[in-house]
């Protein structure tokens, strides 16, 4: 009996202590369903200078957690988020802007007025374009670039043998090319070497022997021992993957470097990667390589305080890009003062490019999720779940529950819905830039005139010794 009384006394004391803890900390178990939309002012302010929605912005700290913006064509991604962000964030920072449609370059005069050095990479108009040679002078970097090229240009196959073999072969040719003068070290030359290897490998044999690199010679012998039919298939895959470098403008553009990646750490640069709309898919592999190499450079070491300016990547039409390292970069790059806006028309585009698991990793690492009007049923159902449930009394006084936002309401709303970190959903009706007088004054500045940067009429061509 005494043991039973002692047990009840201990239980009573524990219960009392827990009630005291709840009273002191306010940590009570929730007994009421009261989901509601959060006020936009809790995260957006005219005083902040991070990513913008309409005429208000997130904080810079929040923006380093990245944003993904989902919306169909005409839903307002460009006019309510991207142009607004560029105009509100301009100043002491760096912009890297993927602009395949050429709409965002309208902000260039305003960026230049704010002190940014505006640069353009435009494969469709190389006379005023910066030059970018993705060929690097070490084995690892060459292999990374070749992997991006092959994965971004060749269809996914159940049997990856030919793609893997193609990557190995092109990387090997790139390593051979490292023993040639620097002016020949570009992928246009690698393509010529691959063509030469296809019909007469003798000059390539001589190049390999001249390196006197035992490991390189051994690897080349291994490739040369392939069955002729197999070798033909591998080289055919390689020629298809590198076909973009047969384009004369691409050959010129990628034959030289006119940019120093260190400038993107220390100077207020605004770089636009643009082209004609019809060429956007064709040239997207160049921008994919550029972004990945720049990320690698920016992430070489953690910056000291004030040692690196904020670098903002504005990735319009991100579905055109194949960024093999995106899932790793997006989880780490904020530590290096880098933030991304990824723009897709639909979540399924992310899945199509990276697969379901990697797509979810990328999506979850975006701290700001911006849903434009007109979402698909699948996204609308997810928003309905995210919104939670609340209780209410109907006209008869009966207590009922319902979702904060039903799937059909999420699909039909004309508002932008924001999901920011672990906060409740936010509904906002942001004005487009053309309804904001201060932004229109900036857009109406005289158009930006890029300076001619043409360097080579044709890239230097290596001459194979046919003797």
- Give how far Cα 347 sits from Cα of 63, 85, 277, Å: 20, 22, 22
| DSSP track, 213-276 | -HHHHHHHHHHHTS-HHHHHHHHHHHHHHTGGGGSHHHHHHTS-----TTHHHHS-EEEEEE--
CB 42 within 8 A of CB 33: no
Q: Is the pTM of this model over 0.85?
A: yes
CB 380 within 8 A of CB 410: yes
CA distance linking residue 234 with residue 231, whole number of Å? 5
Give mean pLDDT, residues 280-298.
Answer: 91
Q: Both tokens of residue 86?
A: 């560029």
Percentage, residues of the chain above pLDDT 90: 66
Q: What are phi and psi of 165, to 5 degrees?
A: -65, -35
**Which secondary structure element, helix H or strand E, spans residue 419, and what is its range?**
strand 416-420
How would residue 466 be classed by pLDDT, with cut points 50, 70 and 90?
A: low
Q: Mind listing the pLDDT tens digit for each residue in 291-328?
A: 999 999 999 888 877 677 899 999 999 999 989 899 99
- Give how far Cα 370 sits from Cα of 32, 74, 177, 214, Å: 28, 15, 46, 55
Element counts in the chain: helices (H) and strands (E):
20, 13
Position 26 pLDDT exceeds 60: no
Q: Both tokens of residue 378?
A: 């699948």
CA distance linking residue 358 with residue 2, whole number of Å? 61
How would residue 29 be classed by pLDDT, with cut points 50, 70 and 90?
A: low
Q: Is the Cα torsion angle 116, 121, 125, 126 positive or negative in sign? A: positive
Q: Which residue has the tokens 């997006």?
A: 330
Q: Both tokens of residue 273?
A: 């990667």
158 HSE (CA, 13 A, CB side): 0
Q: Whose CA is closest to 176, among 152, 164, 194, 163?
A: 194
Check residue 20 and give its pLDDT. 46
- Give how far Cα 83 sits from Cα of 95, 111, 322, 433, 440, Å: 12, 11, 24, 7, 11
Position 467 pLDDT exceeds 50: no
CA distance linking residue 199 with residue 223, whole number of Å? 15
How would residue 155 be classed by pLDDT, with cut points 50, 70 and 90?
A: confident
Q: Output Rg (C-alpha) for the chain, integer angstroms.
A: 28
Greater pLDDT, 333 or 398: 333
Check residue 152 and give its pLDDT. 85
Q: Both tokens of residue 341?
A: 């806006």
CA distance linking residue 105 with residue 82, whole number of Å? 11
CA angle 147, 143, 258 (to 5 degrees): 95
Name beta bridge partners: 57.
45, 52
CA distance linking residue 264 with residue 436, whole number of Å? 30
Q: Mind listing the pLDDT tens digit for each residue in 423-454?
A: 999 999 999 999 999 999 999 999 998 887 76
How would residue 400 be classed by pLDDT, with cut points 50, 70 and 90?
A: confident
Q: Is the Cα torsion angle 167, 169, 172, 177 positive or negative in sign? A: negative
Q: Whose CA is closest to 85, among 368, 420, 460, 412?
A: 368
Position 4 pLDDT exceeds 90: no
Helices 356-364 and 347-354 meet at what angle, rounded to 10? 130
CA distance linking residue 343 with residue 346, whole number of Å? 9
Q: Mind listing the pLDDT tens digit for each residue in 171-209?
A: 999 999 999 999 899 999 999 999 999 888 999 999 999
CA distance linking residue 369 with residue 43, whole number of Å? 13
CB 264 within 8 A of CB 299: no
174 HSE (CA, 13 A, CB side): 25
Q: Mind listing the pLDDT tens digit for each residue in 103-137?
A: 999 999 999 999 999 999 999 888 889 999 999 87
Give mean pLDDT, residues 3-31.
Answer: 54
Check residue 126 and give its pLDDT. 86
Q: Mind listing the pLDDT tens digit for each residue in 225-251?
A: 888 889 999 999 999 999 999 998 899
CB 148 within 8 A of CB 324: yes
Position 348 pLDDT exceeds 50: yes
Check residue 10 and give its pLDDT. 60
Q: What is the mean pLDDT of the chain?
A: 88
**89: CB partners within 8 A, 6+ apart:** 49, 50, 51, 52, 57, 95, 312
Q: Is the Cα torsion angle 73, 78, 79, 81 positive or negative in sign? A: positive
Give mean pLDDT, residues 390-403.
Answer: 85
Check residue 16 and give its pLDDT. 54
Residue spans of the domains in the chain: they are 40-131+257-443, 139-251
Give mean pLDDT, residues 85-99.
Answer: 95
Q: Tell me which fold the domain 40-131+257-443 belongs to.
A: Rossmann fold (3.40.50)
CA distance linking residue 438 with residue 441, whole number of Å? 5
Check residue 453 and give its pLDDT. 75
Position 464 pLDDT exceeds 80: no
Task: Count the residues in the chain.
Answer: 467
Q: Both tokens of residue 240?
A: 């298809």
CA angle 318, 321, 323 (to 5 degrees): 110
3-state SS assignment for residue 302? coil
């Amino acid at each position: 009996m005494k043991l039973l009384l002692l047990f009840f006394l201990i239980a009573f004391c524990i219960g009392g202590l827990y009630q005291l803890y709840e009273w002191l900390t306010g940590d009570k178990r929730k007994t009421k369903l009261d989901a509601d939309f959060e006020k936009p002012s809790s995260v957006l302010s005219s005083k902040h200078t991070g990513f913008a929605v309409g005429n208000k912005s997130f904080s810079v700290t929040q923006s380093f957690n990245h944003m993904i913006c989902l919306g169909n064509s005409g839903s307002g991604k460009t006019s309510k988020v991207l142009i607004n962000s560029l105009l509100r964030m301009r100043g002491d920072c760096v912009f890297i802007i993927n602009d395949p449609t050429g709409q965002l370059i309208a902000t260039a005069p305003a960026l230049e007025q704010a002190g940014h050095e505006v640069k353009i990479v435009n494969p469709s108009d190389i006379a005023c374009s910066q030059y970018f040679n993705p060929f690097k002078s070490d084995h690892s970097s060459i292999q990374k670039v070749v992997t991006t090229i092959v994965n971004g240009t060749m269809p996914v196959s159940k049997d990856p043998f030919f793609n893997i073999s193609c990557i190995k072969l092109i990387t090997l040719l790139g390593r051979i090319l490292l023993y040639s003068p620097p002016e020949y070290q570009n992928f246009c030359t690698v393509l010529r070497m691959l063509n030469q290897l296809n019909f007469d490998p003798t000059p390539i044999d001589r190049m390999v022997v001249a390196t006197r690199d035992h490991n390189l010679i051994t690897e080349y012998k291994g490739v040369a021992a392939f069955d002729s039919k197999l070798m033909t298939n591998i080289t055919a895959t390689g020629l298809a993957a590198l076909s973009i470098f047969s384009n004369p403008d691409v050959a010129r553009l990628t034959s030289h470097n006119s940019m120093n990646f260190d400038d993107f750490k220390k100077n207020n640069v605004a770089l636009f990667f643009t082209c004609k709309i019809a060429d956007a898919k064709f040239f997207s592999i160049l921008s994919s390589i550029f972004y990945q190499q720049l990320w690698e450079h920016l992430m070489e070491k953690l910056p000291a305080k004030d040692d690196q300016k904020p670098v903002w990547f504005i990735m319009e039409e991100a579905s055109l890009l194949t960024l093999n390292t995106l899932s790793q970069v997006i989880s780490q790059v904020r530590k290096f003062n880098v933030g991304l806006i990824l723009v897709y028309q639909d979540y399924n585009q992310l899945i199509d490019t990276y697969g379901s698991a990697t797509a979810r990793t990328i999506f979850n690492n975006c701290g700001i999720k911006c849903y434009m009007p007109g979402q698909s049923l699948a996204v609308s159902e997810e928003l309905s779940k995210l919104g939670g449930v609340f209780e209410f009394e109907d006209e008869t006084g009966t207590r009922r529950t319902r979702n904060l936002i039903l799937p059909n309401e999420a699909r039909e709303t004309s508002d932008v819905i924001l999901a920011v970190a672990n906060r409740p959903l936010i509904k906002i009706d942001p004005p487009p830039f053309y309804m904001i007088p201060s932004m229109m004054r900036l857009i109406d500045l005289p158009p930006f005139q890029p300076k001619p940067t043409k360097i080579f009429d044709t890239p230097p061509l290596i001459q194979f010794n046919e003797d």
